[in-house]
DNA sequence: CTGAGTTAGTTCACAATCTAAATTAACTAA
DNA sequence: TTAGTTAATTTAGATTGTGAACTAACTCAG
């Protein structure tokens, strides 16, 4: 957020203000834009002309534009299909890539094995994959606004550094800069949860929310806290780590090495572990199997999902009491767990949270199943798109 | 925060930017101000001239201003003693008032019984008390920047409405407007915790923090969540209500009417209750008595304080995992509980919070004991002072 | 004690931006 | 065809910030 500056800072604010409104309330006329932004029609004309010249906006001559005795409005919309973004999801053994337009619609996707973890090699593989991607999509690199990279771990998103990414064995790797140099495209990096939250904020269920919480349930459990439209990262970038709330002093061992973390009871590997402890005869069971068992009224499966769901609901209730968010979106592979998990979660949350804070709180589980690509990669792309909308500037050749 | 506007919005931003820096790093020269704000020396000259004319700033010709072969800098400081604020703390039977300068130094204080709760009567009593206060302090009402009112309950601070203040029996009372009209002074209202946080943010331990948590332990237990220098209020103004985290399904009855809230185990009345359950022979015991017993190694007293402290620490650890604040300040009458309570709290918090988030986290207990006035009233005054510094404007005759 | 060197702060011309008011554009309907 | 209406642009004027030049105030070496 801008707090000082010269007159051009004003322009920046007004550009982003107009972009934000267009993103939220679709194609509207310059006059409506003036009303909604509080700017004068003259300024709106000026700013929109600039943005149209940069191909960030287009005029949409919708025939249906009615008139009640006056000149018809010319609708303005964001030009979602004039620029493109690349999203990369880095997993331990997988490199997933999507090419999207500015609405995050996936135009092309590719997946490769990731066999080496050496940052330089990974950078080269990324660069090659990006090239393949935009060639296949027949998109000019000049129309790419940048690359977003999502990976789990501790990320310094502001400086583009993977501070500690245990799955890749990375510490203090300036991966964004490395990718930028190899690809000649601006790059951004963030962890899974924040990438997911960015996508939800831009075009997802949180499009109209100023403050919300995004919860990702996958191999880990974490949240992104969005305060006033901005991700709250905290002093060490550790905000949202409620998955490491300690619920038992000598409980199950968590991926973080400590014992008794909430995460050790509510993620997919944890659920399988908890189920197998009670039903070792189901060795080799997968999450879809477990969900199916629960749906088939297997009491053990139901109980495992129910217990974990209720436990998660309890800790979400703590988040709700502390933040009073406008809504909560749930994503990650855990979204597959379905109602057997999420209904107990909702009930527990609603009954435990402070009066009124949860009764009308939307709790949205984002579907995750997709044969072609994961929303993780789409979320990564949103890091680049987010930058364009938040600054109102396309940093080509940065 | 400003997100759009005309060139005068720039001035506003630059005024507040300069005020913020002066408030944090004391008297400094215009040149240093230019460096710290990023503004040009010319602009700083202009803005400071304006603020000096409005008596918000003064030049301080400190004799000690050294020189190393050049013109000596003229130090600029906020003129803390040219304007004054009134702070009011409304309790069930008490009306406490302080008159402070802009540094929140209390110049005069008065207390009266509050016998009636009718909003109109209360407003009249407030107006009369304010008049007494500034007459006694020999301050002209023209030099008063406004009145801050603190009271517990659900407050709509933005619109100055006491949405629900159970101790006074108020619902949807537009008390700020009423007081403004009667006193002809701008008025602001907020709950205890937020008032306390405002004071800590302006001149207290959180002066240099961008994101922190203020915890108030008094008759209730609540927190203020400060994100990027602004209080996060949440969708319904319910943010920070972690005192109503449910810790037992059928636990002790809380002041909110529900059962098993954290607040029912960690506030002063709760501690006395818990102690008396085990040691009914101590009927009539007060909090200072309990603390003294603990200090005298009374195992029961120690155990009660320790258990409650550890419990609070656990839930603070959840807040820390979620927010990763830069620091936490504790205030309210509960600050008297001393180390017998706060040491177990610290230990519990530090051992439960996620790795690294609490190890270097300052945990500051603000002394509360004072014969003359409570920090509550001072905090209330800070609501008015806060407004002056955050907007850079003194709204006299508003 | 004088003048070169240094640092602080101000003045002024110029550029960027916004707004209000006037103007042009495009349409409806009597 | 013309008056009325709504949308959008143009233009003149105001505000603000910046850079460069300038003034102010000081140190110190000779």
Q: Which residues contact B184 (CB under 8 A, 6 or more apart)?
A: B141, B397
* Distance between CA atoms of residues B182 and B160, nearest Å: 15
* Distance between CA atoms of residues A38 and A28, nearest Å: 15
Give the pLDDT score at A184: 96
Taking one residue from A and the other from B, the number of pairs with CB-CB distance under 8 angstroms is 163
Question: Which of the 8 DSSP states describes residue B2?
Answer: -
pLDDT at A398 over 80: no
Residue spans of alpha helices (H) in A207-262: none
pLDDT at A244 over 90: yes
Question: Which of the 8 DSSP states describes residue B330?
Answer: E
Q: Using a pLDDT cut of 70, give the percent of chain A over it.
A: 97
Q: Does the C-beta of A38 come within 7 A of strand C?
A: yes
Mean of the pLDDT values across residues B5-17? Answer: 92
Q: Do B318 and A315 touch (CB under 8 A)?
A: yes
Q: State both tokens at B149.
A: 């009112």
Quickly tell me which residue has 């006193």 as its tokens: B183
Q: State both tokens at B34.
A: 């230019």
Residue spans of alpha helices (H) in B248-298: 263-266, 268-278, 287-295
A68 CA – C28 C1', rounded, Å: 7
What φ, ψ does residue A259 adopt, rounded to 5°? -120, 145
Give the pLDDT score at B69: 79
Give the pLDDT score at A397: 42
Pairing of strands A154-156, A84-90: unpaired
Question: Which of the 8 DSSP states describes residue A81?
Answer: T
Nearest CA in chain A to B36: A4
Quickly tell me which residue has 């530090």 as its tokens: B350
Nearest CA in chain B to A12: B4
For D20, nearest residue by CA–C1' is: B42
Protein-proximal nucleotides of chain C (any atom < 7 Å from a CB): 5-12, 15-22, 25-29
pLDDT tens digits for range B234-280: 999 999 999 999 999 999 999 999 999 999 999 999 999 999 999 99
Give the pLDDT score at A62: 65
Q: State both tokens at A323.
A: 């933040």
Q: Do A39 and B4 touch (CB under 8 A)?
A: yes
* Distance between CA atoms of residues A312 and A344, nearest Å: 9
Which chain B residues contact residue A263 at CB under 8 A? none
Mean of the pLDDT values across residues B157-179? Answer: 96
Quickly tell me which residue has 């579907």 as its tokens: A367
pLDDT tens digits for range A192-212: 999 999 999 999 999 999 999
Q: Which nucleotide is nearest to A4 (CA to C1')?
A: D17
Q: Do A6 and B4 touch (CB under 8 A)?
A: no
Q: How confident is the model at residue B62 (pLDDT cuts 50, 70, 90)?
A: low
Q: How confident is the model at residue A396 (pLDDT cuts 50, 70, 90)?
A: low
Q: Do B322 and A321 touch (CB under 8 A)?
A: no
What φ, ψ does residue A12 adopt, rounded to 5°? -55, -45
Q: State both tokens at A163.
A: 């501070």
Query: Which residues lie across from B110 on neighbouring strands?
Result: B97
B64 CA – D8 C1', rounded, Å: 61
Q: Does the C-beta of B41 come within 7 A of strand C?
A: yes
Q: Does the C-beta of A51 come within 7 A of strand C?
A: no
Nearest CA in chain B to A6: B10
* Distance between CA atoms of residues A193 and A332, nearest Å: 9
The reported pTM is: 0.95
* Distance between CA atoms of residues A352 and A307, nearest Å: 15
Which of A78, A79, A129, A80 lies closest to A108 in space, CA to CA? Answer: A129
Quickly tell me which residue has 């201003």 as its tokens: B65
pLDDT tens digits for range B144-153: 999 999 999 9
Give the pLDDT score at A160: 97
Q: Using a pLDDT cut of 90, give the percent of chain B over it.
A: 90
Q: Do A238 and B318 touch (CB under 8 A)?
A: no
* Distance between CA atoms of residues B325 and B346, nearest Å: 15
Which chain A residues contact residue B234 at CB under 8 A? 211, 323-325, 357
CA distance to partner chain B, nearest, from residue A237 (Å) = 7
CA distance to partner chain B, nearest, from residue A185 (Å) = 29
B116-150 in b/e burial notation, b at 16+ Cβ within 10 A? eeebeebbebbbebbeebbeebebeeeebbbbbbb
Q: Do A47 and A11 form a contact (C-beta atoms < 8 A)?
A: yes
Mean of the pLDDT values across residues B80-92? Answer: 97
pLDDT tens digits for range B180-219: 999 999 999 999 999 999 999 999 999 999 999 999 998 8
Q: Which nucleotide is nearest to A75 (CA to C1')?
A: D7
pLDDT at B82 over 50: yes
User: The dihedral of CA B320, B322, B327, B331: what is its sign?
Assistant: negative
pLDDT at B338 over 70: yes
Q: State both tokens at A110.
A: 């590719």
Give the pLDDT score at A3: 74
Q: Report the SS3 class of residue A381.
A: helix
Q: Do B13 and A7 touch (CB under 8 A)?
A: no
Question: Which of the 8 DSSP states describes residue A379?
Answer: H
Nearest CA in chain B to A222: B322
pLDDT at B63 over 70: no
Burial class of residue B210 in the structure, from the number of CB atoms within 10 Å of its CB (0-12 exposed, 13-18 middle, 19+ buried): middle
Q: Do B317 and A246 touch (CB under 8 A)?
A: yes
pLDDT tens digits for range A302-341: 999 999 999 999 999 999 999 999 999 999 999 999 999 9
Give the pLDDT score at B68: 73
pLDDT at A356 over 50: yes
Q: Using a pLDDT cut of 90, give the percent of chain A over it.
A: 90
Print the SS3 string covering chain B.
Answer: CCCCCCHHHHHHHHHHHHHHHHHHCCCEEHHHHHHHHCCCHHHHHHHHHHHHHCCCEEEECCCCCCCCCCCCCCEEEECCCCCEEEEEEECCCEEEEEEEECCCCEEEEEEEECCCCCHHHHHHHHHHHHHHHHHHCCCCHHHEEEEEEECCCEEECCCCEEEEECCCCEEEECHHHHHHHHHCCCEEEECHHHHHHHHHHHHCCCCCCCCEEEEEECCCEEEEEEECCEEECCCCCCCCCHHHCECCCCCCECCCCCECECHHHHCHHHHHHHHHHHCHHHCCCCHHHHHHHHHCCCHHHHHHHHHHHHHHHHHHHHHHHHHCCCCEEEECHHHHHCHHHHHHHHHHHHHHCCCCCCCCCCEEECCCCCCCCCHHHHHHHHHHHHHHHHHCCCCCCC
pLDDT at B398 over 60: no
Question: Which of the 8 DSSP states describes residue A339?
Answer: H
Quickly tell me which residue has 């619902």 as its tokens: B171
């Amino acid at each position: 957020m801008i707090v000082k500056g010269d007159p051009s800072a004003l322009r920046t604010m007004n550009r982003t203000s107009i972009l934000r409104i267009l993103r939220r309330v679709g194609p509207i006329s310059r006059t409506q834009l003036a009303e909604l932004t509080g700017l004068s029609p003259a300024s709106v004309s000026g700013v929109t002309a600039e943005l149209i010249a940069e191909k960030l906006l287009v005029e949409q001559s919708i025939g249906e534009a009615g008139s009640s005795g006056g000149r018809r409005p010319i609708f303005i919309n964001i030009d979602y299909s004039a620029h493109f973004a690349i999203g990369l999801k880095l997993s331990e053994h997988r490199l997933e890539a999507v090419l999207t337009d500015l609405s995050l619609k996936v135009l092309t996707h590719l997946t490769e094995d990731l066999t080496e973890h050496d940052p330089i090699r990974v950078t080269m593989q990324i660069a090659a994959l990006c090239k393949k991607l935009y060639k296949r999509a027949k998109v000019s690199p000049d129309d790419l606004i940048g690359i977003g990279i999502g990976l789990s771990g501790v990320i310094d998103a502001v400086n583009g550094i993977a501070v500690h990414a245990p799955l890749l064995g990375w510490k203090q790797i300036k991966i964004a800069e490395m990718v930028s140099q190899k690809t000649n495209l601006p790059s951004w990096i963030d962890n899974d949860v924040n990438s997911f939250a960015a996508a939800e904020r831009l075009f997802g269920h949180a499009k109209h929310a100023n403050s919300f919480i995004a919860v990702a349930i996958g191999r880990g459990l974490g949240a992104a806290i969005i305060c006033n439209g901005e991700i709250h990262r905290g002093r060490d970038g550790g905000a949202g780590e409620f998955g490491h709330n300690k619920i038992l002093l000598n409980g199950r061992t968590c991926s973080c090495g400590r014992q008794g973390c909430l995460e050790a009871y509510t993620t997919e590997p944890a659920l399988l572990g908890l189920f197998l402890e009670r039903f070792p005869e189901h060795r080799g069971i997968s999450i879809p199997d477990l969900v199916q068992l629960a749906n088939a009224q297997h009491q053990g499966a139901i109980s495992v999902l129910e217990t974990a769901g209720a436990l998660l609901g309890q800790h979400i209730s703590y988040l709700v009491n502390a933040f009073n968010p406008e809504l909560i979106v749930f994503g990650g592979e855990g979204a597959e767990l379905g109602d057997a998990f999420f209904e107990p979660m909702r009930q527990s949350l609603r009954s435990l949270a402070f009066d009124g804070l949860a009764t009308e709180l939307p709790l949205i589980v984002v579907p995750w199943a997709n044969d072609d690509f994961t929303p993780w990669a789409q979320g990564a792309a949103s890091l680049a798109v987010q930058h364009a909308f938040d600054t109102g500037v396309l940093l080509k050749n940065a």
